[in-house]
Amino acid sequence: MPFANFKFPEGIIDAARKEEIIHRTTAMFVEYFGEGVRPYTMVLVEEVTDGGWGRADETLTLEKMGMKVR
């Protein structure tokens, strides 16, 4: 089963954008593996609380990244 897990800071993408990510990711898996994978493809789009993730031993926040919540 193809599986993709996207994580975004909470509040930066809306429902329409999440739907687009799901459709485009599914289409990519179908392109690579064939139409038979469509019913088994899972795409998970998660929102992570601001400050609830990090990289290179640094907690990241929207402020640190210069981003604004929608």
In this structure, the number of other CB atoms found within 10 A of the CB of residue 45 comes to 18
Residue 56's CB is within 10 A of a number of other CB atoms, namely: 5
**pLDDT value for 17:** 97
pLDDT value, residue 11: 86
Residue 23's contacts (CB-CB under 8 Å, 6 or more residues apart) are none
The predicted structure's pLDDT at residue 55: 85
- Locate tokens 């990289």: which residue? 55
Q: What is the mean pLDDT of each run of 10 residues along the chain (70 residues)?
A: 93 94 98 98 94 86 77
> What's the token pair of residue 62?
């929207």
Q: Are 3 and 27 in contact (CB under 8 A)?
A: no
How many whole angstroms separate alpha carbon 28 and alpha carbon 70? 27
pLDDT score at 62: 83
